[in-house]
């Protein structure tokens, strides 16, 4: 697999269309996703031991969005010493919007650690409002919503939206599993945790949740006298 820029990683030109970028990513996903090599007992990708699927997905998430793609091109120009093009007012406003979204997201994550779920939900909603193209914001909005007791259907909808935008992200599946588990829909939760492990066999949240579910099931069986 080619190394270098994100364009090199996906094997597309710098003038590639969004459809071409998406097609390249799907092709690489089918060929290089870690699950393909875990099944074969191989730890690394066949053509490079330092290429991982996280970097491939990072490249795709950058290049699939027109504004992010142009910003990345500008960064590449700076690296090569080419004089940067002066940003337009619209581009500066876009940078401000994305920065505000990222700031809200980071503050939301801090509030989640403090278990201030309502505050976190409001911050994640602000992040989504400013950057509706970012799936991770929707996913965490879903988790914060169910934890804040603000409605299962809204929480589920946001988590599902994140998965629809980036199906290969294991954590988004695990987060939806958390929503189902919080709503006591254990069969759905188990399925989503299993989906998470399909994409990332080492996803900690999914592994821990499934272990807890199995332990609770085993205890219930013993209480009912099953062997």
User: Is the pLDDT at 219 greater than 50, yes or no?
Assistant: no
**pLDDT 10s digits, 108-125:** 999 999 999 999 999 999
Above pLDDT 70, what percent of the chain? 80
Domain 96-223 sits in CATH 1.25.40.10: yes
User: Is the pLDDT at 10 greater than 80, yes or no?
Assistant: yes
Averaged pLDDT for residues 13-25: 87
User: Is the pLDDT at 225 greater than 90, yes or no?
Assistant: no
**pLDDT 10s digits, 69-95:** 988 888 888 877 656 566 678 878 888
Q: Looking at residue 175, what is its pLDDT?
A: 97
Which residues does 108 contact at the CB level (< 8 Å), separation at least 6? Answer: 119, 120, 121, 123, 124, 127, 140, 144
Q: Which CATH architecture has domain 6-79?
A: Orthogonal Bundle (1.10)
pTM here? 0.63
> What values do phi and psi take at 159, rounded to 5?
-65, -40
**pLDDT 10s digits, 129-150:** 999 999 999 999 999 999 999 8
Sequence ranges of the domains in the chain = 6-79, 96-223
* Rounded Cα distance, 49 and 78, in Å: 29
* Rounded Cα distance, 6 and 60, in Å: 8
């Amino acid at each position: 697999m080619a190394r270098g820029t994100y364009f090199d990683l996906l094997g597309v030109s710098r003038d590639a269309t969004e459809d071409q970028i998406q097609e390249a990513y799907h092709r690489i996903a089918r060929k290089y996703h870690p699950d393909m090599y875990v099944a074969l007992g191989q730890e690394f990708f066949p053509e490079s031991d330092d290429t991982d699927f996280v970097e491939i997905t990072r490249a795709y998430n950058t290049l699939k969005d027109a504004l992010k793609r142009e910003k990345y091109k500008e960064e590449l120009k700076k690296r090569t010493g080419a004089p940067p093009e002066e940003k337009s007012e619209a581009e500066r406003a876009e940078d401000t919007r994305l920065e505000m979204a990222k700031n809200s997201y980071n503050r939301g994550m801090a509030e989640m650690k403090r278990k201030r779920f309502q505050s976190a939900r409001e911050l994640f909603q602000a992040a989504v409002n400013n950057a509706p193209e970012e799936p991770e914001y929707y996913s965490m909005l879903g988790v914060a919503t169910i934890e804040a007791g603000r409605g299962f259907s809204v929480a589920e909808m946001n988590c599902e939206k994140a998965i629809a935008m980036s199906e290969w992200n294991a954590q988004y599946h695990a987060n939806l599993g958390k929503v189902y588990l919080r709503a006591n829909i254990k069969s759905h939760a188990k399925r989503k945790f299993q989906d998470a492990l399909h994409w990332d066999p080492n996803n900690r949240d999914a592994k821990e949740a499934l272990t807890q579910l199995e332990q609770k099931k085993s205890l219930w069986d013993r209480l009912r006298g099953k062997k």
